[in-house]
Homo-oligomer: A and B are copies of this chain.
Amino acid sequence: MKGIRQLAEHLDISIGTVSRALNGKPDVNEETRKRVLAAAEELGYVANQSGRSLRQGTTNVIGLMIESSKETIEDSDNFFLGLTSGLQSVLARHKLDLIMLPCPTDEDPYEYLKRMVARRVVDAMIISATQRVDKRIDLLSKAKIPFVSLGRSLSSGNSSWIDLDFDGVANSAVDRLVAHGHRRIAIAAPSNEINLGYIFLDGYRRALERHGIAYDPSLVIRVKTSEQGGYQAGHELLQIDNRPTAVILIYELMAIGLYRRLTEAGVIPGHDLAVIGFREEPRAKFLQPALTCFRMSLHDLGVELAETLLATMPAYSHFYPDSERNMIWPLKLIPGESDSFHLMAAE
């Protein structure tokens, strides 16, 4: 790669003049500027931003750490790609670029992040898949790397986060099912330590209590957050004595596997069992009967995440004076046919 020195030698002009021409300074005549830019293009000169960044202490790059499991890849989970357009629309205002940091499936996310922090490839981070106790938050705080987490955590402290309204979703789902006469309402929850599972389950439990329904741990089905997990949830649900009449799913693509397992057993969703899914997903749109689920805009969430992050960065915070440090992101109920039947009073 050609550096500024080679460029100056090639043109037989001083390094200072070449530098001023490249940086658009006014004290270079137009003809010289054109010659310099043409030669830079021809010789493949690339500004050494690594050097520039080191002087400024910045990379102008924002990282989005993603954890893709074998399951989410096979499910073609589009969640993170869906966030990029919103994130980039905000970052572009400030000439910042977004890169995605995919944590390998077999690596500990904390160790991975530690290495990426040491590599200093980014000025700031967005982390996701927040665990109930998440050491990554302490790591970033100590390293003084601005960050926002998609998902709150017991470790959050004063740090910035945006989280989906799992509590609101659990409440709406339980209210709706109870209004349709259901009392035995199962829930398919993630089998890992991801914090959203705890929040969702708490919301479900409190919503049941509000309706005077005792919490029954045997109705909590722990499965992987995948289509396959949904299939497994269907399988376990069919084996519960005094079978529940309704089920709430925490992950969007579970519905596809659940429908498949129920259909195999001759149990018709929306007729023999009420089903409420989580986030509306393009693929789940083709399910018959139509799935009752919750809508949100990934683009808008990306915008909000970027603005919340920039508000924590000294160089940009003045652009976002009104940004909230923490936000619960609402989802809107989209009624379908999967939970539209009413249980008889005799039940």
| A28-36, A94-102, A161-169 - the one binding chain B | A94-102
Closest approach, in angstroms, between the C-beta of A284 and any C-beta of chain B?
11
Closest approach, in angstroms, between the C-beta of A299 and any C-beta of chain B?
10
A74 to B282, CA, bound (A): 7
Interchain CB contact under 8 A, B85 and A119: no
A121 to B61, CA, bound (A): 9
A143 to B48, CA, bound (A): 11
Interchain CB contact under 8 A, B282 and A75: yes
List, in ascending order, chain B residues with CB within 8 A of A92's CB.
104
Interchain CB contact under 8 A, B88 and A43: no
Interchain CB contact under 8 A, B59 and A85: no
Interchain CB contact under 8 A, A118 and B82: no
Q: Is A238 an interface residue (CB 8 A)?
A: no
Knowing A50-B53, A99-B100, A99-B101, the reply to whether A76 touches B73 (Cβ < 8 A) is no
Could you say which interface size class chain A belongs to? Answer: 35 or more
Closest approach, in angstroms, between the C-beta of A178 and any C-beta of chain B?
33
Interchain CB contact under 8 A, B1 and A145: yes
Chain B, Cβ-Cβ closest to A281: B76
Q: Is A120 an interface residue (CB 8 A)?
A: yes
Knowing A1-B143, A73-B85, A99-B99, the reply to whether A54 touches B50 (Cβ < 8 A) is yes
A59 to B139, CA, bound (A): 21
Interchain CB contact under 8 A, B102 and A98: yes
A120 to B85, CA, bound (A): 23
Q: Is A116 an interface residue (CB 8 A)?
A: yes
Contact of A82 among B51, B63, B73, B141 (CB under 8 A): B73
Interchain CB contact under 8 A, A142 and B88: no
Interchain CB contact under 8 A, A61 and B282: no
List, in ascending order, chain B residues with CB within 8 A of A53's CB.
50, 119-120
List, in ascending order, chain B residues with CB within 8 A of A115's CB.
97
Q: Is A297 an interface residue (CB 8 A)?
A: no
